[in-house]
Amino acid sequence: MRTLDWMVLILSLVTIVGYGLYRGRGSGTIQSYLLADKSMPWWAMGLSIMATQASAITFIGTTGQAYVDGMRFVQFYFGLPLAMIIISATVVPYFHKARVVTAYEFLEQRFDAKTRLAASIIFLIQRGLGVGLALYAPAVVLSVILGWSERVTVLIMAGVVVSYAVPGGIKAVTWTDVQQMMLIFLGILGAFFAAVWLLPSDVSFGDALYLAGASGRLNAVDFSLDPNNRYTVWSGLIGGMFLALSYFGCDQSQVQRYLTGKSVGHSRTSLIFNAIVKVPLQFFILLTGAMVFVFYQFERPPMLFNKTAETRMEQTFEQAGDGLAGVQYQAALQQYNEALAKRRDTAYRLLEARRNGSTGANPGELQDANRAVEAARREGITAVELAGDGRPYDDTNYIFMTFVTTYFPVGAVGLIIAAIFAAAMSTISAELNSLATTSMIDIYRRHFHRGATDRHYVLIAKTATAFWGVYAAVFAFFGGRLGSLIEAVNLVGSLFYGSLLGVFVLAFGFPSVTGTGAFTGLVVGEIAILLTSWLTGISFLWYNVVGCVVVVATGLVVSRLSRSWFR
């Protein structure tokens, strides 16, 4: 980071805080603090919804994913437009008509207090873990890339978010989301054009696509029916739709965005905006990752993208030269360098053959060369894991940032880092805001202190926002010690979403279902998801389908039985 980069980053952060404070002024009532007086236009809500979903890891991880695995991850988003249509047609008018502040408040109107409480607690657990991770994951990556302490990056992000989310409430959160999303768009566009521009002068964009395709990195669509294949058109359309239905329809961090709409039409349009933009946007981010992959066909990529791990391995070799891990690492490094040189030659020969229409090289050779590079890198990673007592090593999230900080021109690095901070903060602020809202509306006001003044409730909501901010920072401080628990946290969303969705499907779609039926369905559905997770190897995208179906079936059966018993 040079002076200009620092200036871009600091200016971005200061502008975000200043703008958030300016927009959030006058939020003195509950309606204003939590629902922005229902004054938001569709485009602000639409960008806020998108910014909330796009975490920093989505940004840097997705490009890394395309580098490692190609573009098939785009299929994960195929179900999103369908979910947006369903939510827009059903959930949005119901929530507006019910005049609720949280999605779970609606469950009490429709069923009973215990169903509302259970759903609120599930949300608080799940989103509470999520916000810690949303802060921790990018903090780790940024700390390694920038050479700062993890605690510094955590404190910067948490401090900035809390400074505008606490005083300004949802107005501040939504308007800064708009600004942050524009910064993210700018970052993505800049990264894509820089990746193409940085290719060798004799390699055109068409050549880059050809090489990416020959290396299996442009595999955007897969129609196979294998349920263990995580990303296919079917898992994306069906599993992805259920996941998106759960996230956008039942998760307060998203529901609260579109509840601030001026009208049902504005709320609906904000969702439709996401239905139109999200899939092409993800495609574009993944294509950027594929371009980074092609770029590294001609430039030497590090064997380990995590600098800390690389330094540790070099020290391991220097300190205990004949130690197994160190020797294995050095051998892998030599093998890796040789494989890279061979791959670069093959790529050039392949392009030459393509241009001349000759048979001087064929794509199979490039695929073999890629496999050789990957095999050498895997050897190196095995050595890292050996040195780290078997702890798994994954540097997917470091690939894009390594590329940016090593090759981008001055100023552009600051812009990308600012975009990543923005992506992290937009997610965290919306999550803090929704956690505080549920804590205050569904727990505090409903169960502990009814009938107080607006001023009192706004104070509690502000305190709750600050509390969740501190909680997220503490979680992130100790994130490194959680080890594999972090991976488990990633799964948590999928473990809870399906059953939450099932309860809302019962609420909206089945007028005959009783509170007891819905509550029993929620419990049985949750057990079914946990059993599916433990006993089968199916992709997590299907958990939502399983949970939702079990909740609905159980809810219907129990409601019917309970009615016949009482008759």
Partner 1 sequence: MPRDLIDDKPPFLNTWGQLYAAIVGYLFFLIGLFYAFTRAYQISP
**Smallest distance, partner 1 to C-beta of residue 326, A:** 37
**Smallest distance, partner 1 to C-beta of residue 143, A:** 36
Q: How far is CA 165 from CA 41, 162, 179, 285, 466, in A?
A: 20, 5, 14, 28, 8
Contact 180, 426 (CB under 8 A): yes
**Smallest distance, partner 1 to C-beta of residue 441, A:** 17
Q: Which is nearer to partner 1, 303 or 373 (CB)?
A: 373
Q: Which is nearer to partner 1, 276 or 410 (CB)?
A: 276
Residues 250-289, one symbol each (x = binds partner 1 by CB under 8 A, - = not), give: -----------xxxxxx-xx--x--xx--xx--x------
Q: How far apart are the C-alpha atoms of 195 and 193, rounded to whole Å?
A: 5
- The length of the chain in residues reads 567
- Residue numbers 357-416 binding partner 1 by CB under 8 A: 362-365, 367
Q: How far is CA 504 from CA 90, 104, 562, in A?
A: 11, 9, 20
Q: Which is nearer to partner 1, 274 or 402 (CB)?
A: 274
Q: How far apart are the C-alpha atoms of 176 and 164, rounded to whole Å?
A: 9
Q: Which is nearer to partner 1, 269 or 397 (CB)?
A: 269
Residue 40's beta-bridge partner residues?
A: 261
User: In a 10 Å sphere around its CB, with 0-12 CB exposed, 13-18 middle and 19+ buried, how is residue 70 labelled?
Assistant: buried
Q: Which is nearer to partner 1, 37 or 385 (CB)?
A: 37
Q: How far apart are the C-alpha atoms of 81 and 76, rounded to whole Å?
A: 11
Of the residues 122, 195, 218, 243, which one makes contact with partner 1 according to CB under 8 A: 218
**Smallest distance, partner 1 to C-beta of residue 239, A:** 15
Q: Which is nearer to partner 1, 167 or 363 (CB)?
A: 363
Query: Which H or E element spans position 117?
Result: helix 113-146
Q: How far apart are the C-alpha atoms of 288 and 188, rounded to whole Å?
A: 8
Q: How far apart are the C-alpha atoms of 293 and 320, rounded to whole Å?
A: 34
**Smallest distance, partner 1 to C-beta of residue 265, A:** 3
Q: Which is nearer to partner 1, 88 or 246 (CB)?
A: 88
Q: How far apart are the C-alpha atoms of 228 and 235, rounded to whole Å?
A: 10
**Smallest distance, partner 1 to C-beta of residue 516, A:** 31
For residue 498, give both structure tokens. Answer: 């399906």
- Residue numbers 39-98 binding partner 1 by CB under 8 A: 42, 74, 78, 81-82, 84-85, 88-89, 93, 96-97
Q: Which is nearer to partner 1, 85 or 474 (CB)?
A: 85
Of the residues 9, 103, 203, 212, which one makes contact with partner 1 according to CB under 8 A: 212
**Smallest distance, partner 1 to C-beta of residue 457, A:** 20
Applying CB under 8 A, which part among 11-19, 106-114, 204-212, 402-410 lies near partner 1?
A: 204-212
Residue listed under structure tokens 């809500």: 45
Closest CA to 66 of 409, 399, 316, 532: 399
Q: Which is nearer to partner 1, 296 or 496 (CB)?
A: 296
Residue listed under structure tokens 């809870």: 496
Residues 4-43, one symbol each (x = binds partner 1 by CB under 8 A, - = not), give: ----------------------------------x---x-
Contact 208, 287 (CB under 8 A): no
Q: Which is nearer to partner 1, 280 or 392 (CB)?
A: 280
| # residues contacting partner 1 (CB under 8 A) | 44
**Smallest distance, partner 1 to C-beta of residue 80, A:** 9
Closest CA to 107 of 125, 88, 121: 121
Q: How far apart are the C-alpha atoms of 473 and 161, rounded to whole Å?
A: 11
DSSP assigned state of 235? I
For residue 194, give both structure tokens. Answer: 């820089």
Q: How far apart are the C-alpha atoms of 385 and 123, rounded to whole Å?
A: 35
For residue 446, give both structure tokens. Answer: 């409903």
**Smallest distance, partner 1 to C-beta of residue 355, A:** 15
**Smallest distance, partner 1 to C-beta of residue 556, A:** 27
Q: How far apart are the C-alpha atoms of 509 and 526, rounded to whole Å?
A: 20
- Residue numbers 448-477 binding partner 1 by CB under 8 A: none
Q: Which is nearer to partner 1, 186 or 264 (CB)?
A: 264
Q: Does 221 bind partner 1 (CB under 8 A)?
A: yes
Interface with partner 1 (CB under 8 A): 38, 42, 74, 78, 81-82, 84-85, 88-89, 93, 96-97, 99, 209-210, 212-214, 218-221, 223, 233, 261-266, 268-269, 272, 275-276, 279-280, 283, 362-365, 367
